[in-house]
Amino acid sequence: MTNVTVIGTQWGDEGKGKIVDWLSIRADLVARFQGGHNAGHTIVLDQKVFKLSLLPSGIIRKKLSIIGNGVVIDPWALIKEIETIKKQGLKITTKILKISSKASLILPYHQKLDELRENAKGNNKIGTTGRGIGPAYEDKIGRRSIRVCDLYDTESRKIQLKTAITHHNTILKGLNKKPIQVAYINKILNKIAPILKPYITNTMDLIISANRSGKNVLFEGAQGTMLDIDHGTYPYVTSSNTVASQAATGSGIGPALIHNVLGITKAYTTRVGNGPFPTEQNNNTGELLGKIGHEFGVVTGRKRRCGWLDAVMVSYAIKLSGVNGIALTKLDVLDTFKEIKICIGYKLNNKIIKTVPETYTEMNKVKPVYEVLKGWQSSTQNCKKITDLPANAKKYIKQIEKLIECPISMISTSPEREDTILVKDPFKQVN
């Protein structure tokens, strides 16, 4: 039995959904362990596009799919997503979707507060997805979440609701906004409770017993390392831990069961929302990367900022998550470029550094030091083996491996499931 944890090594949208879908054929269970419907994971099958936000990407292959305790769930968003996927021809039954009873709920006041806070920030806004993710995690840490289990326990629900609403109404009063009524929230919770009930279970026991009977689990991360609340470009981050260790706390397994960690790395870099981005190309190169890579957010439709691959950042992500294999995605987007750059260090106050600065203000000041490689100017799509790739593409891959000191286990050359090269099976890799 082997577990594989998939995490993003950049600012999200690295192509985690595609890789999780591809790998899930080797898994018995696929589990989400953090984030919420701020995530947008795309899977393309014969030009049919599936966009998932809360549902684990293994659901497309009808794998047992788990939404773990570390996820924040907007029940309406989940219900809507289940409906959308059903309309696309995939039945989401209570046999394949299981939701943790310990997950925290995103309620209407979270989304409202996300919006009010962002509007109040003016030029310093984070550029959140506006889904209430931050306020929902704040309530979790502040011990006033309404959790899934509270839907069915009148006593705990009453106490939690009172604490949460008192807190939120104090904030709303300060902002000159109308207070929330407990009765209104109670009414909507009553509506949701029976709809979610059949999916709810003790997901921790489910995962552990699956492992004990020799089944493989694939943990699907959302967002990316540089959006991690502890290790990302704080405060321009999301509100959860996005690193691999979160797979343990966010699903209820011990850290020794994390096994292999596959870091997903886009062959260049993108970021959606505000915050530092040393290799950003505010020029024709950035425009071209965005155009060829169709870089628009799945959740908000915003244009993603684009730039060259940053090996300093990816190395940092590898260390933080104990990554032992990389899936390099969107290599095809570079097919037409004459020259390709990789950032190998940062210049800060006339010194070259090879680490990610701790403050965003410093990160804003660094100037990337680039290594320039020759492009391959031919198509990589339809290459089924690494040996099929053009010589300069192989050189690019080799150079990345050298710089980040980590093997590349998979290469993706189009959004389609079939355009994937397997170099080393993450489920078979020895840690």
**What is the C-alpha separation between 66 and 105, in angstroms, rounded?**
16
| Known active-site residue 13 | yes
When binding is defined by CB under 6 A, the residue of 19, 30, 39, 406 that contacts ligand IMO is 39
Encoded one letter per residue, x for contact with ligand GDP by CB under 6 A and - for no contact, window 301-340 reads ----------------------------xx-xx-------
Q: How many beta carbons lie within 10 A of that of residue 91, not counting itself?
A: 10
Name the CA dihedral angle for 398, 403, 406, 410, rounded to a multiple of 10 degrees. Answer: -40
Stretch that binds ligand IMO, among 10-18, 161-169, 333-341, 353-361 (CB under 6 A): 10-18
Considering the complex, what minimum distance in angstroms separates the CB of residue 209 from ligand IMO? Answer: 28
**What is the C-alpha separation between 204 and 45, in angstroms, rounded?**
31
Tokens representing 42 are: 């795309």
- Is residue 196 within the footprint of ligand IMO (CB under 6 A)? no
232 binds, among ligand GDP, ligand IMO, Mg ion, none (CB under 5 to 8 A by kind): none
Name the helix (H) or strand (E) containing 218.
strand 217-220
250 binds, among ligand IMO, ligand GDP, Mg ion, none (CB under 5 to 8 A by kind): none
Name the helix (H) or strand (E) containing 160.
helix 154-174
The one-letter code for the residue type at 316 is Y
Which position among 21, 37, 41, 259 bears the catalytic label? 41
Considering the complex, what minimum distance in angstroms separates the CB of residue 8 from Mg ion? Answer: 8
- Is residue 135 within the footprint of ligand IMO (CB under 6 A)? no
DSSP string, 103-140: PEEP-HHHHHHHHHHHHHHGGG-----SSSHHHHHHHH
Nearer to ligand GDP, 203 or 414 (CB): 414
When binding is defined by CB under 6 A, the residue of 6, 7, 12, 206 that contacts ligand GDP is 12
CA atoms within 13 A on the CB side of 7: 31
324-361 as b/e: b if 16+ CB within 10 A: bbbbbbbbbbbbebeebbbbbbbebeeeeeeebbeebe
Nearer to ligand GDP, 15 or 56 (CB): 15
- Is residue 317 within the footprint of ligand IMO (CB under 6 A)? no
Nearer to ligand IMO, 137 or 337 (CB): 137
CB-based burial label for 284 (10 Å; 0-12, 13-18, 19+)? exposed
Report yes or no: 429 and 417 within 8 Å, Cβ to Cβ. no
**What is the C-alpha separation between 424 and 326, in angstroms, rounded?**
10
- Is residue 400 within the footprint of ligand GDP (CB under 6 A)? no
Encoded one letter per residue, x for contact with ligand GDP by CB under 6 A and - for no contact, window 35-54 reads -----xxx-x----------
Encoded one letter per residue, x for contact with ligand GDP by CB under 6 A and - for no contact, window 132-151 reads --------------------
- Is residue 68 within the footprint of ligand IMO (CB under 6 A)? no
| Known active-site residue 231 | no
In the complex, the residues that contact ligand IMO under the rule CB under 6 A are: 8, 11-13, 38-41, 126-129, 131, 133-134, 222-224, 227, 238-239, 272-273, 298
Which residues carry out catalysis?
13, 41
